[in-house]
Structures are given as C-alpha cells and as structure tokens.
Structure 1
Amino acid sequence: MVAQVPDPVAGEVPPATGVWADIVGQPDAVRTLFAAAQAAHLQVRGEPAPAGAMTHAWLFTGPPGSGRSVAARAFAAALQCLEPGEAPGCGRCAACRTVVAGTHADVKVVVPEGLTISVREMRALVQAAARRPTTGQWRVVLIEDSDRLTEGAANALLKAVEEPPDRTVFLLCAPSDHPEDVPVTIRSRCRAMQLRTPLAGSIAEVLRERDDVGDEMAWWAASVCGGHIGRARRLATDPEARERRDRVLSIPVGLRRFSDVFTAASGLVKSSESEATSANEDRNEAEKDELRTAMGAGGTGKGTASATRGANAALKELEKKQKSRATRSQRDALDLALVDLAGFYRDVLVSRSGSPASLNHPDYASDVAKAASQWTSESTLRRLEAVLECRTALTQNVKPIIAVEAMVAALHHG
C-alpha cells in the first residue's frame, strides 16, 4: 500500500514567498511540503516533531508541466535552509540559493540526458547517498524522470530506499505512480505527492510577474500550453517556438493530396532534429573544449602521447553520451508536436459533440470548426488514435520517420 500524506498541522499557512513561490498552482502540495520541512528542522535540532510529517522518500507525480521537479527542488532547498525560523525555504540564504542553482554540495540532482538511467549511474549515486551531509542538514538525492530507470537501476535504488541512511532523503519525480513509470516496490516505500495541472490564470500571472510578458501574450500562452508552465514560457518568449507550433497545427487541414503526407512527415522529423541540434550544439562544443583542456590538449613534452590517447578515448565516450542526449532531445521535441496534434483532434471531437469544454487550441478554432464540418466523429477518433499509436511506437524505438509517415498517412486517410 502506498503511504498517505498526513494533513499539515492545523493553522500552518505556508508563505507564498521564497522557494515556495516557484511552485505554481499547487497549494495543497505546498502545504504538505512546508509542514514536512518544518518537521525536518525540528528533528535536526532534536526537538519534538509531528509524527509522520517527514519521511525519507517522496514520489512527486503529475502531468507534464505540473512542476514536479520544481516542487522537489523547492522542498530540497527548504530542507537545507539556513534560516528556517517558522518558515523554512526563505530563498535568501546561501543554502536556498545554491540548491535552486543546482550547486549545493549535499543535493545531488539527477537529470537523465539519455533515454534511460543506467544501473552504473544509480550504483554510484547510492554510494554517494550513503555518506553523511558535509555542509547541509540533509543529503538529498533528487531524480528527475525516474520513470527512465532501467530494471537494474531500479533494483539498485530500491535497496537504498529500503534501508535509508540517516539524514538522507530521496525525491523521485515521475509522470504517474503506474507500475510502468515507477515499480511498485519503490512506490510503496515513498510518500506520494500528486500534483495537478495548473490553471491558466495562475500560469498567466507567473508569466506577467516573473518573465515580464504582456497581458495579451501571457493569456494566450497560458491558454494554449496545456497547463505546461515551461511550454507557456517558451511560447511567450520565443518566436521560433510559436512558428514550430503553427507548422504542426497546420498539418490536419493541410493534407489535401497524398503527396502531402511525405512532405508533412519529413517536415515534422526535420523540425524535431533541428530543435534538438540547436538546443545542444553550444553545450556539446563547450563540453568537448573543457574535456580537451582537462586532458592536457596542446601540451608538449614527456607523456604527451599517452595523454593524447587517453583524451581521444574520453572524447569518444563523451560523443557517445552527447549522441544519446541528442536522441532524447529529438524524441522529446517530436513528442511535444504529437501532443499538439492530439489536442487538435480532441478539439474537433469537442466541437462535433457540442460540448462547452474549452479547446486546447482556441486560436485554431476556425480550423477546428472546418474539420468538424467535414469529418465524422469516427474518422476523427481514428486520426486521434493514429497520433497516440505513433507516440507509443517512438517509445519502442521505431525509427521516427517510419512512425511519423505511418501516422500522417492515417491522418490523410481518416
């Protein structure tokens, strides 16, 4: 059975400031995490703490964009806060700032750059987690996308979660607590923290106040982002992101001839490839330069030849890692495009049914109405299923161009 989260202490109202202000539209989660952070600081000081408020392992779940990793990082900062007082997570002290920046010595953040998290990575992480904190109150291990754990990595993590070291906290983030995302054996040893999709009003407010986005653009981005805060920020601030979305949403009503199938499929795949390349290009070169310098590139004298051989081997390993990261970036970019497509066909079904439900793409209401007048509900549903099947195929390592061409052909046929 999954452990249940106790209600926070009556009367405790977490502040909407400091690290907690970064968690958008999740008041219940903030309340629980705030109470847990307070209890954790009482434990460290040896004072009585509410029973069950704090535990050694947490599982943050919720739809994409709900802020799972943001909530986990804010909680980690509150645990390390140097000025807890009555409100841990001040956001001002050195501990809070370094945790948020990802540089705190006792907070290890794992962001999988490839398609999976390997058992070797997890074993090294578990060994590091067994050490006592050096500068902070706790040793915190935060694993984003823990649904990418391989079976071996999950088993290595399970042992650490079953027998947790003193003053070590594990924070896992995953889309859901389904066995396909998180093994039951791990899930049953974590406290569940389920986040919800933030409301458009909350997202628009964040864009206005933190990103200095105008009212009209903030509301538009909030209304079309599907509740994904990061996506809303990109759409509001990046013209190229808006152009990519427009190209994707022009596909459904633009498939007039069968030849359009191959043009649209090729465009989708190339767009995801270019987005992945642009996102990683500068970082890849910086990593290569840093590695060459560390390995003594350009040096002269005794031992230069052996150092060069070592540098070449390390460079090949780095390139392998970068290739894996590029593959993941491309898959993520393509999946985002497929989510937008699925939203369009969902809007067509909503329009045909006469439901008052809000559209995922209100700015494409005219295209949705046109499609709803031309397609049957059955053919629309088949198109939606084709998009979802393409997403599944990509997770099973089907070559992107093959999966996308099959999908677009189904979209054209209906």
Structure 2
Amino acid sequence: MSVWDDVVGQDHVVEVLRGAAGDEAAMTHAWLVTGPPGSGRSNAARAFAAALQCPAAGCGRCQACTTTVAGTHADVSVVATEKVTFSIDEVRDLIGVAQRAPSQGRWRVMVLEDADRMTERTSNVLLKAIEEPPPRTVWVLCAPSPQDVVVTIRSRCRGVALRVPPVGAVADLLVRRDGIDRDVAVVAARAAQSHIGMARRLARDPEARARRSRVLELVGSVRGVGDAVLAAAELVETATAEAKAATEDRDAAERTALLRTLGVEDGGTLPPTSRAQVRQLEEDQKRRATRTQRDMLDRALVDLLSLYRDVLVLQLGAGVEAVNAAHGDLVRRLAEECPAEQTLRRMDAVGEARTRLEGNVAPLLAVEAMAVALRPQA
C-alpha cells in the first residue's frame, strides 16, 4: 500500500515526486503539476503532499499519510474552486495560511487545484508568495498545461507533466478501488478516454451512461437546421438539469446551515443585517452552477469529438481501437453519409463551440451554431 497507488500510468512523475519528497536537496518551494483533464493531477498533488509529510516518502500507512489523504492534516491545505474563477480574497486568505510555520508536519503544503482559473490580477497577488515563501512552505499548483498559468508564476515553479493514462491502467484502478466488473470498467475507461473521474462515474452510474448515449444519438438525428436547433436545446437543457441536480441539495444545505448560524429559524424573517451574507452565498452558488453547467456541456462536446474521431478512423481505415465501440452502427452510418473532409469540419465545429463556451458565449447560441454545422452537407 502506498499513497502513489491511485496515481495510475504516471511512473515517470511518481519517480520525480517521490525522489523529491525523500531528499530535501532535490526539493524546491514551488511545483506545477500539469496534465490533461482526468489524468490525475489532483491525485498526484495530494499524494505528493502526503509524501512530503511522511518519513518514508509516502508509505500510505502512517498518520501523516492517512490524515493528508483524508484531508485532515493540519499542515496541508487543498484549495479548489467550484466557481468560474478564484477571487482575490480567496487567494489572499490562502497566502495568509502559507505564512505560518508547520505545526505538526515536516512542511506547510499548499495545494492549489484549478490554478488555471486565476485571472492575471489574482495571479499577481499570488506571485510574491511563491517568489519568497517561508523556509518550510511548499506550493503545489495544478493546471491542464503550463500555458494556462501566467508566465511569471510558471517560471518560478518546477514542472511535472502527466500524460493520459492507458485504458487498461484506469480499468485496473476501477476494479481494484471500486470493485467494478472488469468488462464494465474497460468500457467505461475507453468511453471516458482515460479520464479517471469520468470513467468512475460511467462505471458506477447507469443513468450517466444513458445520458452519454443520448448525446451521441442526437448527432444522428440532425438532418437540417430545425433538427439542429432542437438538438442544441436538448443538449443545453440536459446540461442545465444535470448541473441543478448536482448542486441543488448542497445549495439547500448551505443555506440552512447559514441561517442556523445567523440564528434564523426555517421560515423565519431574515434580519436586514444578515441579508448581505445570504446574498453573497446565493451569488457564490450561482457561480458554482454556471461552472457546473459549462463543465457538463464541455464533457458532452468531448464525447461528440470522440464520436467523430471514430468516424474518421473508419473513413481513413486506420487500425486503431474505437472509443465508442458500443455505437458501431451510428459510426458506420456517419462514415457513409459524408467524406472525411466533412468529418474534419464537424470536429472543427465542436472545437469552436468549446472555445466559445470558454469565452463566456451564451451556451445555447454556441451549441446551436455547432449543431447547424453538424448537419449533412449536400
């Protein structure tokens, strides 16, 4: 057993991080862990934090390892945002914690997930703390790629790059950690394109698998502009419903807890002095819902890209395994109805929609434009 067991398919990264944790001469005060979505950036960062606190560089059994993995170690702070971006106040609070000397462990470890969600102004606030940290403080930033972090911070971090893990390694993890049937685990890992979190969700949730299949089927139903508009509306409605389902219970629990803290009973009148706090909570929840909806939509678009990738593979006669083997009939039909050039244009349309969503274009407009471009061309 080791804290590195869940960092699958990343032997080169584990070797570097484990070596640094066991040898202070190889340590540096700031690290940037990069890799595509689902590659295990957060797992690697948390494992590294545990290894830094562990005398054996991550045995997985000692108190330092178990408390770090559980998120209860006093000297390890793991911060992520469920909003579109980090606020300056959140980063300032984190910097304040980083200035404290470790109280129990060997290091004060600051893990900042989603470092790519900092604006340039927020990044500048963090810059000085990374340039001149206290002697026993280590920053571990996570982002999809080095280019997603401003160059002034990137240049002051030691980078380690994760890769997409093999399908077999992800399936092995699902079988070992979650007890998933091997065949289901392999199908889920392949459909998720080795995205560990998504593979786990697909393997454990039949409804998630059904929703993914529906997204792919929508493409086959687009024959004209009217079909495209309807398909786009369904895609956005589905993403919105999923986002609401994912956040609704938590939103209600947070509101109830806040009102209880303010001394307001259920159904009671909210004092004017407390309204600002409730309003702030509601604004934070709206930002979280916005990010969740975008993430759900982006995942659906990635699934569409995987479908067209399979279509292109079939059209070009490439001898590689299909991502969507269970949708072979749809893949063959799409491959027969258009040439490879149109498949590439369709993939470009999906990629453009992802870029527009990232740029805060209204989701329905971005998806409608994409869906119109997906219809068969005469």
Tell me if both proteins adopt one fold, taking TM over 0.5 as the criterion.
yes
Read off the aligned partner of 1:66 and give its amino acid letter. Answer: S
Which deviates more from structure 2 when the two are superposed, residues 91-100 or residues 332-341?
A: 91-100
Read off the aligned partner of 1:356 and give its amino acid letter. Answer: G
- Corresponding residue for 2:47? 74
- Asked if 1 retains the 8 angstrom alpha-carbon contact of 2:223 and 2:376, the reply is no
What does 1:27-38 correspond to in 2, within 5 Å? 27-38=11-22
1:319 to 2:282 alignment: yes
The secondary structure found in structure 1 opposite 2:375 is helix
- Corresponding residue for 1:405? 368
Which deviates more from structure 2 when the two are superposed, residues 331-340 or residues 258-267?
A: 258-267
The secondary structure found in structure 2 opposite 1:116 is coil
- Corresponding residue for 1:396? 359
1:54 to 2:27 alignment: yes
- Corresponding residue for 1:183? 150
* Unaligned runs of at least 5 residues, structure 2: none
- Corresponding residue for 1:26? 10
Instruction: Give the counterpart of 2:188 among 208, 221, 230.
Output: 221
Percent of aligned pairs with the same residue?
53
- Determine which structure has the larger helix proportion and give its number: 2
- Asked if 1 retains the 8 angstrom alpha-carbon contact of 2:75 and 2:109, the reply is yes
- Corresponding residue for 1:5? none
CA offset at residue 324 of structure 1?
0.2
Deviating runs (4+, > 6 A) in structure 1?
A: none
Counterparts of 2:20 and 2:133 in 1: how far apart (Å)? 17
- Corresponding residue for 1:335? 298
The structure-2 alpha-carbon separation of the partners of 1:93 and 1:310, relative to structure 1 and needing over 3 Å to count, comes to: farther
Which deviates more from structure 2 when the two are superposed, residues 343-352 or residues 54-63?
A: 343-352
What does 1:127-276 correspond to in 2, within 5 Å? 127-178=96-147, 181-276=148-243
- Asked if 1 retains the 8 angstrom alpha-carbon contact of 2:34 and 2:162, the reply is yes
* Unaligned runs of at least 5 residues, structure 1: 1-16, 41-50
Counterparts of 1:61 and 1:362 in 2: how far apart (Å)? 30
Which deviates more from structure 2 when the two are superposed, residues 326-335 or residues 364-373?
A: 364-373
- Asked if 2 retains the 8 angstrom alpha-carbon contact of 1:119 and 1:153, the reply is yes
1:351 to 2:351 alignment: no
- Asked if 1 retains the 8 angstrom alpha-carbon contact of 2:224 and 2:376, the reply is no
The secondary structure found in structure 1 opposite 2:134 is coil
Counterparts of 1:378 and 1:98 in 2: how far apart (Å)? 54
CA offset at residue 92 of structure 1?
2.4
Instruction: Give the counterpart of 1:283 among 250, 268, 277.
Output: 250
Counterparts of 2:330 and 2:357 in 1: how far apart (Å)? 28
Counterparts of 1:146 and 1:342 in 2: how far apart (Å)? 26
- Corresponding residue for 2:87? 118
Counterparts of 1:120 and 1:88 in 2: how far apart (Å)? 33
C-alpha offsets along residues 113-171 of structure 1, whole Å, 9 cap, x if unaligned? Answer: 11011222212211221111122221111111111111111111111111111100000
Counterparts of 2:116 and 2:224 in 1: how far apart (Å)? 40
C-alpha offsets along residues 307-340 of structure 1, whole Å, 9 cap, x if unaligned? Answer: 8333322111001000000000000000000001
- Asked if 1 retains the 8 angstrom alpha-carbon contact of 2:101 and 2:136, the reply is yes
The secondary structure found in structure 2 opposite 1:91 is coil
- Corresponding residue for 1:7? none
Counterparts of 2:217 and 2:202 in 1: how far apart (Å)? 17
C-alpha offsets along residues 41-91 of structure 1, whole Å, 9 cap, x if unaligned? Answer: xxxxxxxxxx3x11111100111110001100011011122xx2xx32222
CA offset at residue 101 of structure 1?
2.1
- Asked if 1 retains the 8 angstrom alpha-carbon contact of 2:127 and 2:152, the reply is yes
Counterparts of 1:166 and 1:297 in 2: how far apart (Å)? 45
Q: Give the TM-score of the pair, scaled to structure 1.
A: 0.88
